[in-house]
């Protein structure tokens, strides 16, 4: 990673539909969340006709792409990925400006895309593998169960890790034989559009398309009868709207939604610098704006002071500033609305009498005054009914909640609307399996937590209101396929 990329010129992106780049009648100005009044670039704002063209292009390309075997699709996808790293520094600089997060995290965003894409391609030998059910007493047929793609799929990604999150589903959808339309986030579409277009240019026209624009103009990507599936990552409210819209045409959905992840620290947990660094990153990476970040920390009462001290020491070293500036460790929140919400949670906890400790200094640069910067905070032993505990903060604040018994910790961890991820911190593997097996969520870490430690081969997704369906792994491929059973009558079995 280098920091020598020129970031002074605004970036302009268009639409990519049916193998060609095009502009739209309107554009969107993409604001810099760290510098009020600064425009990072301009993205095409697709109209209804553009969206219909993208759907038609993907539909036209589908028969030819689906007719290929999975291995051949994988070969073409592998070739399309070549050179993806050549523009990574530039993409990272753009993403840092439109998103707000620090340059290194933006760089890793693109790196994870490449890693996930390649891991998906390793699944090619399994994609077309059929299962044969032999004749059985009273069943005189031999049945082959095979898999078939669905058609045109829409993939909608959020602002926080848009490029990396895209690769949790897009390569699996394409490998399964579907064609795709990618909708980047309207507030941070530039870097994602650039990455998708570079890959789409190397695939057959229409196999991969990208459209940017305002959500209100994109409804057909969900409601059109030509859309077979929608894969959405975002908020719970957004997921509910997607599901409601998709129901009109019975379009399938995979929803990866918000989380209120609990980290449970048992009395025998190792709390050395290595583990405290992991816990700190699990909470405050991307200024707390990651769905699988730890959002509640349940600490055995005997270890609470150690956790408070360890996190405090790290927060005292946090440098709040502009994402591209050297030395910055925590950038701004993405939107003024989110900044206001998180600030409200902190003030509410103070007014309720919780022990709230804030850290760091807001950036002194006048150019950054009014940016979406917020001092990170620990909320120690809050009333469990406070919103800082019950709601997903999606910002740099964390409640630290003491417990006395294992059952108490598990009950509290599960007493939430969410079920995305969780973690158990203990020196005892048996205790880790015991407690982890009781957490109602889709993914559990042991002595770690967060996106940087996610096994990108494993299925990922939530329970309860954290979503439905799974991404990654062969399960992620099957999510973009359906089964077909072909039964052959076996005369000898029939006679028997």
Which one of the listed residues 256, 348, 411, 471 is annotated catalytic? 256
**Angle at 292 (CA atoms; ends 185, 294), nearest 5 degrees:** 130
**DSSP letter assigned to residue 272:** S
d(C-alpha 455, C-alpha 458), whole Å: 6
d(C-alpha 373, C-alpha 492), whole Å: 75
d(C-alpha 432, C-alpha 351), whole Å: 36
256 flagged as catalytic: yes
d(C-alpha 451, C-alpha 458), whole Å: 13
Residue 409: other Cβ atoms inside 10 A:
24
d(C-alpha 284, C-alpha 277), whole Å: 10
* Strand order across the beta sheet in which 131-133 lies: 131-133, 141-149, 481-489
Number of H helices, E strands in the chain: 18, 21
Give CA separation, 262 vs 125, 292, 293, 347, 449, in Å: 37, 10, 9, 22, 10
List the alpha helices (DSSP H) in 82-216.
Answer: 88-99, 103-121, 124-127, 162-166, 170-175, 190-200
Active site residues: 256
């Amino acid at each position: 990673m280098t920091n020598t990329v020129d970031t002074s010129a605004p970036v302009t992106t268009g639409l990519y539909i049916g193998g060609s780049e095009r502009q739209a009648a309107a554009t969107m100005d993409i604001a810099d969340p760290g510098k009020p009044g600064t425009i990072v670039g301009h993205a095409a704002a697709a109209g209804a006709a553009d969206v219909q063209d993208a759907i038609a292009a993907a539909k036209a390309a589908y028969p030819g792409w689906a007719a290929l075997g999975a291995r051949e699709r994988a070969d073409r996808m592998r070739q399309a990925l070549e050179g993806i790293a050549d523009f990574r520094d530039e993409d990272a600089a753009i993403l840092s400006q439109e998103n707000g997060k620090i340059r290194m995290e933006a760089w890793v965003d693109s790196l994870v895309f490449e890693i996930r894409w390649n891991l998906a391609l390793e699944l090619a030998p399994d994609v077309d593998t059929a299962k044969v059910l032999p004749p059985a007493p009273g069943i005189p047929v031999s049945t082959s169960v095979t898999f078939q793609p669905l058609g045109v799929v829409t993939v909608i990604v959020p602002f926080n890790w848009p490029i990396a999150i895209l690769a949790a589903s897009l390569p699996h959808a394409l490998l399964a034989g579907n064609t795709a339309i990618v909708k980047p986030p309207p507030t941070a579409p530039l870097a994602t559009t650039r990455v998708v277009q570079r890959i789409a240019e190397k695939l057959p026209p229409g196999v991969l398309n990208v459209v940017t624009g305002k959500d209100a103009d994109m409804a057909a990507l969900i409601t059109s009868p030509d859309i077979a599936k929608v894969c959405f990552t975002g908020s719970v409210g957004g997921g509910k709207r997607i599901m409601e819209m998709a129901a009109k045409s019975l379009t399938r959905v995979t929803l990866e939604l918000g989380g209120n992840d609990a980290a449970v620290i048992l009395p025998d947990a190792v709390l050395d610098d290595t583990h405290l660094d992991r816990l700190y990153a699990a909470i405050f990476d991307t200024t707390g704006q990651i769905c699988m970040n730890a959002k509640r920390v349940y600490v055995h009462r005997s270890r609470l002071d150690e956790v408070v001290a360890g996190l405090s020491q790290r927060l005292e070293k946090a440098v709040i500033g502009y994402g591209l500036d050297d030395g910055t460790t925590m950038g701004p929140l993405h939107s003024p609305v989110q900044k206001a919400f998180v600030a409200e949670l902190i003030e509410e906890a103070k007014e309720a009498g919780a022990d709230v400790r804030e850290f760091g200094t807001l950036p002194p640069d006048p150019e950054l005054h009014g940016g979406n910067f917020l001092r990170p905070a620990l909320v120690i032993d809050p009333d469990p009914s406070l919103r800082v505990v019950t709601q997903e903060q999606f910002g740099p604040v964390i409640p630290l909640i003491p417990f006395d018994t294992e059952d108490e910790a598990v009950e509290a961890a599960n007493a939430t609307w969410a079920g995305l991820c969780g973690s158990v911190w203990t020196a005892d593997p048996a205790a880790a399996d015991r407690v982890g097996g009781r957490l109602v969520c889709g993914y559990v870490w042991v002595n770690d937590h967060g996106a940087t430690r996610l096994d990108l081969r494993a299925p990922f997704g939530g329970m309860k209101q954290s979503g439905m369906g799974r991404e990654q792994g062969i399960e992620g491929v099957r999510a973009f396929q359906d089964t077909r059973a072909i039964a052959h009558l076996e005369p000898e079995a029939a006679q028997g």
